[in-house]
């Protein structure tokens, strides 16, 4: 694909210390005011949203770009397209939307903002857990459809595939898959609620490190499984048919990681076959998710115990403050020392 840059972007800027910072997705998090070390100055260009086909034009003369989930592929990272680009600042923990290999080959620094949303995501995971375990969405839909007067009592709507009422926290065993900042906050909070907590080892490993539980054992023993790990080639379809078959019939799964880690078609099939009790998710294989691109959404799944939220687990006032702090530390630190505080590449 060929891109054309505006004529003014083709000209060599005379001041190498004056940086053009292009923020491509301020819809998610506003850009903080930067206090750059002397002699650096900057011009900020802000775009609320950017389509993939607009990236090349908007970063044509950028020194720094700030983005969240927008794809930054190799073709826009070529010197012919973004000749002055020196840094990609990601306002998120995940960097899977940036071609890291292309950045490394060009010497472009990539920094992310880890741990900023740990408390919010952990709390959201627990909110999804309670909603699924108590069949909140399913019973809400049934009440709205006039089911309560017809049935007289709806307590059986909360029963799991094992035919028993929902468990309380003191009877739950929570399996945490992904023991980063979110996993650690989740572990502490779950224990305070009375849950037993298991932390997963790596899938495919017969043994687990001290303090960890083998992946296959965790699947068999947990009544609640929460996924909070990065998406990578190794974690795609981490949970699919075989893993779902290994779970308890009253198990619920919560996914606050990334789409693609759970095989959505296999998940829906397992719920239909009543192999597990429910699924709560904030992430999807394709986003924005709709009944056109996700098997989790649509009228044919309305009778299943699925709770969906639109990738907003991160959203909280302290998360935004943390993102702003970390973004400042990355860009200002890179200019001061040559290294951002949270380097990726």
Residues forming the active site:
258, 287, 311
Contact 135, 305 (CB under 8 A): yes
What pLDDT score does 13 carry?
61
Q: Which of 245, 255, 195, 185 is nearest to 225 (CA)?
A: 255
Taking residue 232's Cβ as centre, other Cβ atoms within 10 Å add up to 13
Q: Residue 341, SS3? A: coil
What pLDDT score does 298 carry?
86
Distance CA 289, CA 283 (A): 9
Beta bridge partners of 197: 174
What pLDDT score does 232 carry?
87
* Through-space distance between the first and last CA atoms of the chain, rounded to whole angstroms: 26
Contact 225, 251 (CB under 8 A): yes
- Cα distances from 187 to residues 16, 93, 134, 219, in angstroms, run 48, 19, 21, 17
Q: Flag residues of the chain having pLDDT under 50.
A: 1-12
Distance CA 75, CA 59 (A): 12
């Amino acid at each position: 694909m060929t891109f054309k840059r505006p004529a003014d972007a083709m000209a060599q800027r005379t001041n190498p210390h004056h940086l053009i910072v292009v923020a491509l997705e301020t819809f998610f998090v506003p850009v903080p005011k930067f206090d750059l070390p002397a002699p650096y100055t900057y011009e900020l260009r802000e775009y609320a949203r950017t389509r993939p086909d607009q990236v090349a034009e908007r970063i044509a003369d950028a020194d720094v770009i700030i983005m969240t989930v927008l794809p930054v592929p190799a073709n826009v990272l070529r010197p012919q397209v973004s000749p002055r680009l020196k840094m990609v600042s990601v306002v998120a923990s995940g960097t899977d939307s940036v071609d890291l290999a292309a950045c490394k080959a060009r010497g472009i620094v990539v920094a992310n903002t880890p741990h900023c949303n740990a408390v919010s995501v952990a709390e959201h995971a627990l909110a999804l857990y309670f909603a699924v375990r108590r069949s909140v969405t399913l019973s809400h839909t049934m009440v709205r459809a006039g089911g309560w007067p017809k049935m007289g009592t709806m307590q059986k709507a909360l029963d799991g595939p094992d035919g028993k009422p929902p468990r309380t926290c003191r009877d739950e065993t929570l399996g945490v898959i992904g023991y980063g900042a979110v996993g650690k906050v989740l572990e502490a909070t779950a224990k305070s609620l009375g849950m037993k907590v298991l932390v997963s080892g790596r899938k495919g490993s017969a043994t687990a490190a001290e303090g960890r539980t083998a992946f296959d054992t965790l699947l068999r023993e947990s009544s609640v499984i929460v996924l909070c790990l990065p998406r990578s080639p190794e974690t795609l379809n981490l949970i699919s048919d075989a893993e779902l078959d290994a779970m308890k019939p009253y198990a619920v799964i919560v996914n606050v990681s990334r789409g693609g880690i759970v095989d959505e078609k296999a998940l829906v099939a397992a719920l239909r076959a009543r192999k597990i009790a429910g699924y709560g998710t904030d992430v999807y294989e394709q986003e924005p998710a709709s009944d056109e691109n996700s098997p989790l959404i649509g009228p044919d799944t309305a009778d299943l115990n699925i709770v969906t939220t639109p990738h907003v687990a991160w959203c909280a006032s302290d998360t935004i403050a943390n993102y702003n702090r970390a973004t400042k530390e990355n860009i200002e630190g890179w200019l001061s020392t040559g290294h951002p505080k949270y380097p990726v590449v």
